[in-house]
Amino acid sequence: MTTPPTGGVGSPDVPRTSPDNFRGLDPDAFFKLLIAELQNQDPLDPLDNTQLLQQVATIREVGVSLQLNETLKAVMLGQQISSAASLLGREVRGLAQSGDEVTGVVDRVTIADEQVLLHVGEEKIPLNNVAEILPQGSSDDSN
């Protein structure tokens, strides 16, 4: 008795996939799909080396993309911290987390939930909510 093909990757009744077809999948779903595919392939018609190498290359590409995203996020946070630090002692105007417009001198910088915050008195202004950086000494009318 012969067993009919199960529709493995190399079977003519299943459309072939390219690495581009997997770009929309999140990494966990992609790895689960690959493992399921390898576990359920037809032992009489296993995945050929070329297909396996293509899928391994796709896995590496997904991994590299994830690492690149994390690195870019870290670099961007570092740049934001540097920009915020340069505003210490400077007068800024912006929209605070409370929703109020605030103008005052930045007295410290903190990071909360990967967001850089400028402290102006009791208010916290997210760096991306700064509307204006006022010239040095603009609030000093004694000159």
Sorted by where each begins, the domain ranges of the chain are: 23-73, 88-133
CATH of 88-133, one of 2.40.10, 1.20.120, 2.20.70, 2.30.30: 2.30.30
DSSP-assigned letters across all residues of 41-52: S-TTSPPPHHHH
Q: Is the predicted pLDDT of residue 26 greater than 90, yes or no? A: no
For residues 110 and 127, what is the distance between their CA atoms, to the nearest angstrom?
10
Better pLDDT: 132 or 7:
132
pLDDT in tens, 70-129: 999 999 999 999 999 999 999 999 999 989 999 999 999 999 988 999 999 999 999 999
pTM above 0.75, yes or no: no
pLDDT in tens, 38-70: 777 777 766 666 777 787 788 788 888 888 999
Q: How far is CA 53 from CA 4, 10, 41, 64, 136, in A?
A: 26, 14, 16, 16, 60
